[in-house]
Amino acid sequence: MTFYKNRGKFEGLSLMVGRVFSRLGLSPNQWTFVTILPTLAALYFLVQKEFILSAIFFIIASFIDLVDGSVARVMGKVTKLGAYLDTMMDRYVEFLIVLGLLFIGLPDFFMPITFWIFIYYFGAIMTSYSKAAAKEKDLVDHEIKGGIAERAERLILLFVGVLLAHFSLTYLTYMLVILAFLSNITALQRAFIAKKASEKK
């Protein structure tokens, strides 16, 4: 089950976070850009093979990613530009973590590890692109949501993989293989959703 279906349950928590962080004086868009700082720290510690520290900063970055939207709602500053910047930053956050995976000497699994990293990230890109393309080509009236591994699910699995790498790099390799399959399945699921939606128009 994807997280967007359960967002209503976290609305109260989101508003509380928004009230707290709105007092710090940063605008929602500024909070969006702050996300890059813990992400760079997570990247640094990942390359240094300090997996616990990398995972900690990974979590911090993911939390701050929630702050901008919460602050925007509390301050009444929800804008299309803010949503756009948040989407762009989401892509950079995932890219930077994936980039770090290339430098830690992960073991291969049937195919070179770079193959699995590429396939995983290609699926992640296509998951996002399938949504944007469906809207651009006027196949759907609303943005496509759904699929087995949306961004939140992918990042959770990636976080678990980084954490498990503290015990063995092989665990992270296995997680990347799983992500390679799930991300591409999700992209295909969204393409199917777009097809079904277009037939109803």
Q: Catalytic site residues?
A: 90
Please state, in angstroms and rounded to a whole number, the distance separating the CA atoms of residues 42 and 61: 8
C-beta separation of 153 from 110 below 8 A: no
Map tokens 């992400």 to a residue.
Answer: 39
Which of 103, 109, 92, 106 lies closest to 36, judged by CA?
A: 92
Q: What is the DSSP letter of 144?
A: -
One-letter-per-residue 3-state SS of 159-175: HHHHHHCCCCHHHHHHH
- The per-type count for the chain, helices as H runs and strands as E runs, is 8, 0
DSSP 22-66: HTT---HHHHHHHTHHHHHHHHHHHHTT-HHHHHHHHHHHHHHHH
C-beta separation of 71 from 18 below 8 A: yes
DSSP 57-68: HHHHHHHHHHHH
Map tokens 């616990």 to a residue.
Answer: 52
